[in-house]
């Protein structure tokens, strides 16, 4: 174990699986006191137990849950790190989208990130330090047809990152984002499972990338560790793309 986050209190949303789980585990291995804020009690409690963290059942779209998660984290000390990871793919052709799905996507993938940030900012500002890491997406830069309105929310999250980063930099609070591309998570595997040949669809996704593979949650997690640590004091209001170089390609 290293000590890059020693004794820092880190609140990670959606940490019961996938990228959030990998971040929670990486933070714990670096000495942080991790709060697993997760809606799924079974997965969240399991991760928290295995890393010696604190589990708080949290639906980030519910104001009382947001307040409860932050209050629970504050029993360990002032929140030093917030990772806004909870979210979901909401994909439609725009004209076929039920209006309620717009509201669901914005509430979960954008508004909840501000709600969590708003809740931890008073403590961070008071102690003159803090790091917020938002898990955005390559959808925040590139548009894939039939994925509406998810890219709208992720464009907004990148805007939120930049706005908060500039606003609170004078008070010692840094706000950055990570934009993953194809990452080997349960969400990706569920998506491939919708096809007649999931293995072939995964192979197609891997072949799209210069490295002929997709990323792992752990590769995203270590970037989050860096951004949350004292090793990145002058990185602020920035978004780091983790897509293996896919977005640099002009065409396949």
Tell me how many degrees the CA angle 155-65-225 measures, rounded to the nearest 5.
Answer: 55
Contact 79, 124 (CB under 8 A): yes
Question: Is-catalytic flag, 250?
Answer: no
Cα separation of 213 and 183, whole Å? 9
174: β partners: 131
3-state secondary structure of 9: strand
Place of tokens 């709600």: 115
- Active-site hit among 150, 168, 182, 191: 150
Question: Would you say 38 and 47 are in contact if contact means Cβ atoms under 8 Å apart?
Answer: yes
Catalytic residues: 150
């Amino acid at each position: 174990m290293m000590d890059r986050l020693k004794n820092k209190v880190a609140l990670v949303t959606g940490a019961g699986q996938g990228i959030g789980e990998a971040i929670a585990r990486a933070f714990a291995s670096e000495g942080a006191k991790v709060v697993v804020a997760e809606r799924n009690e079974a997965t969240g409690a399991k991760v928290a137990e295995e890393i010696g963290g604190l589990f708080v059942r949290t639906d980030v779209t519910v104001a009382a849950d947001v307040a409860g998660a932050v209050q629970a984290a504050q029993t360990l000390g002032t929140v030093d790190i917030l990772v806004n990871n909870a979210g979901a793919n909401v994909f439609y052709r725009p004209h076929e989208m039920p209006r309620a799905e717009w509201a669901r996507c914005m509430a979960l993938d954008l508004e909840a990130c501000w709600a969590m940030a708003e809740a931890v900012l008073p403590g961070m500002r008071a102690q003159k330090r803090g790091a917020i890491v938002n898990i955005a997406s390559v959808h925040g830069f590139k548009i894939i047809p039939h994925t509406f309105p998810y890219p709208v929310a992720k464009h907004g999250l990148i805007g939120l990152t930049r706005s908060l980063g500039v606003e609170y930099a004078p008070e010692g609070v840094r706000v950055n984002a990570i934009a993953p591309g194809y990452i080997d998570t349960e969400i990706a595997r569920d998506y491939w499972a919708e096809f007649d040949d999931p293995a072939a669809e995964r192979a197609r996704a891997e072949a799209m990338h210069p490295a002929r593979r997709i990323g792992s949650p752990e590769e995203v997690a270590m970037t989050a560790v860096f951004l949350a640590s004292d090793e990145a004091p002058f990185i602020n209001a920035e978004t780091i793309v983790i897509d293996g170089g896919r977005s640099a390609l002009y065409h396949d």
